[in-house]
Amino acid sequence: MDTSAHDIPPAFRRAVDRAPALCTRPASVMHPTTSTDRVPWASMLILNKRFTRIVTAGIVFVTLFYFLRDKHVEIALEYNHVFHLDASTVQDVCAEFAKDDLLQLIQPVLKMGHGERRDKIEAQLDSVCACFAEDELLIFSDLAETVRGRTVVDILADLPRGYFNATMNPDIKNYIMQKEMQVEGTLDVDVEATKRINGWILDKYKFLPMVQRAWEAKPDRPFYFFLETDTYVFWDNAVRFLTTLDPDKPLYMGSPSPGRHDEEQDIKTWFANGGPGFVLSRGAVKALLDRKEADGKLEPPLVEKWLPLLSMECCGDSVVGWTLWNISVPLQGYWPLFNPHPLHGIPFSDPYWCQPVVTLHKTTPDDVKRLWLWESEQKRFKLNRPILYSDVWNFHHPVQQSIRRNWDNGEWDNFRPPVEANIDSPESCEDFCRSEASCMQWLWRGLDEKQCILMRSARYGQPRRPEPMPEEEGGETPLGTRLKRMTDFTSGWVQERIVQWREEHVCREVQWVEPSIERIF
């Protein structure tokens, strides 16, 4: 296919223009033309020397290029190198973003907290949510403020009076303290006092109010999509998925997590993990906000009704699941479309390959921005279909080494060698992995731990320095003091086996999944 210059997106063209000209050589160092009066053997010798130098230089260049390229990725991840998206790049990506079609179907709702890291919040607003205007994106938090020029609504300010009884609900002291410090001008200025505010414990109180407030601010939208600051959303895939569903049916969708036990029915319930995001249809929100009448009286509003449960429960997303369960709206589990794993933790295998990916969780600020730009290029150049997990593989894995020290590729889908195998080093751990046909990668936890972990899936992982083992595993000295036992991390991949697996698993059709609470992460 012909791709002329005007077909190349400006964001991609600028990236190419900024790349160093590694393969060019200035005219001043070009070899002069060989004189024709030299004897043939001398000319051949000179040519051979030139050829040898060229080949040697080429080998050195290629070796350094791949080594440094991989080291760059490792260093970037390890030291949280900041990837900057300039305003013109964001503008170019948003120019091709099908926002109008999306907003006819989806109301995006971003939940954050003042105590969260600023780089997480800003990365989300600069990428995944960048193309939405201020009046198109709802942002709810535990404090009214402005971030990146956007209005952030304090969703806790209008809680019923019962929530502010510090005796019955001691959690609310954190909110009161935060508000007082904001008024006094000491919030974030008095660092030690600010650290004493437990923003995590306030988070659970945002969920039910934000559902109610989203409906009040943007009523009657087909679907309400709730995400967090470390949620990555593939909006194009989300639109493709939700277009197939009826918004007037009460639908509650996300990545299943085990919830409360229904004592009356003796059944375990499920809720949508808030981190990967969750979706409520128009029908589900109507059902949730509907107030039943009994004995001539309306039941309390949603948020007031569930205060006793909220004060006892750890997490707001589980409360959402329980309230919906109690009005006969059970979770529709759409794993792996809604993925609880972070980008670097996806365990690539049959369940994570030909399926579309709608969301990721715990995405680092750097990865959020890089992935957003990468996704826009995939849609522009390569794909007229949903982005699959097999596409996401290419974001990290082509620069992967066979072995990485101070690197943890995880324990997902793992098994261990038998004791009689006598695995006592990373080399013997790798050898055992290679002897097992199902082993795709291995992890050696060394120093004092000496554990070999084998895995049936391919996972990228992340940097991890040597660290103390849990205290209970340490033992004591004769004087009764604790021993500090250490572990380090060496990861390896059986590259040829992974390559073969990929060649045998070419995706010939998109595998959209049906809802299930049995098929979970």
Instruction: Tell me which residue of 275, 220, 219, 286 sits closest to 252, measured CA to CA.
Output: 286
Which of 288, 306, 333 marks a domain boundary?
333
With vertex at residue 447, the alpha carbon angle to CA 445 and CA 449, rounded to the nearest 5 degrees, is 55
Residues 307, 426, single domain; the answer is: no
Please state the three-class secondary structure of 153-191 as a single string: EECCCCCCHHHHCCCCCCCHHHHHHHHHHHHHCCCCCCH
DSSP-derived 3-state class of residue 470: coil
Residues 281, 407, single domain; the answer is: no
- Between 372 and 518, the more confident residue is 372
- Between 56 and 113, the more confident residue is 113
In angstroms, rounded to a whole number, what is the distance separating the alpha carbons of residues 155 and 210? 6
| Number of domains present in the structure of the chain | 2
Which of 333, 362, 381 marks a domain boundary?
333
pLDDT digits (tens, 9 = 90+) for 446-482: 999 999 999 999 999 999 999 999 865 445 555 555 5
Residues 299, 410, single domain; the answer is: no
What CATH number corresponds to the domain at position 109? 3.90.550.50
Q: Are strands 414-415 and 451-455 parallel, antiparallel or unpaired?
A: antiparallel
pLDDT digits (tens, 9 = 90+) for 162-180: 889 888 889 999 999 999 9
Domain membership of residue 58 (yes or no) is no
In angstroms, rounded to a whole number, what is the distance separating the alpha carbons of residues 454 and 417? 8
DSSP-derived 3-state class of residue 128: coil
Instruction: Tell me which residue of 495, 464, 498 sits closest to 401, measured CA to CA.
Output: 495
Residues 266, 409, single domain; the answer is: no
Question: What range defines the domain where residue 408 resides?
Answer: 403-468+484-493
- Between 120 and 306, the more confident residue is 120
In angstroms, rounded to a whole number, what is the distance separating the alpha carbons of residues 459 and 339? 14
Domain membership of residue 49 (yes or no) is no
The percent of residues above 90 in pLDDT, for the chain, comes to 67
Residues 314, 422, single domain; the answer is: no
Helices (H), 362-508: 365-381, 389-396, 426-435, 495-504
Cβ count within 10 A of residue 463: 17
Residue found under tokens 């933790």: 345
Residues 149, 251, single domain; the answer is: yes
Domain membership of residue 476 (yes or no) is no
Residues 116, 261, single domain; the answer is: yes
Residues 413, 319, single domain; the answer is: no
pLDDT digits (tens, 9 = 90+) for 320-361: 999 999 999 999 999 999 999 999 999 999 999 999 999 999
Domain membership of residue 299 (yes or no) is yes
Q: How confident is the model at residue 365 (pLDDT cuts 50, 70, 90)?
A: very high
Domain membership of residue 361 (yes or no) is no
pLDDT digits (tens, 9 = 90+) for 170-218: 999 999 999 999 999 999 999 999 999 999 999 999 999 999 999 999 9
pLDDT digits (tens, 9 = 90+) for 228-261: 999 999 999 999 999 999 999 999 999 999 999 9
Domain membership of residue 188 (yes or no) is no
Residues 141, 263, single domain; the answer is: yes
Domain membership of residue 506 (yes or no) is no
> What is the model's pLDDT at position 15?
39
Q: Is 397 a residue whose pLDDT tops 90? A: no
Residues 302, 432, single domain; the answer is: no
Q: How confident is the model at residue 16 (pLDDT cuts 50, 70, 90)?
A: very low
Do 320 and 211 form a contact (C-beta atoms < 8 A)? yes
What CATH number corresponds to the domain at position 445? 3.50.4
Q: How confident is the model at residue 81 (pLDDT cuts 50, 70, 90)?
A: low
Domain membership of residue 280 (yes or no) is yes
Helix orientation angle between 10-18 and 87-95, rounded to the nearest 10 degrees: 140
Q: How confident is the model at residue 283 (pLDDT cuts 50, 70, 90)?
A: very high
DSSP-derived 3-state class of residue 518: coil
Which of 299, 316, 333 marks a domain boundary?
333
> What is the model's pLDDT at position 384?
83
Residues 97, 214, single domain; the answer is: yes
Residues 117, 257, single domain; the answer is: yes
Between the alpha carbon of residue 93 and those of residues 12, 102, 128, 363, the distances in Å are 10, 15, 11, 20
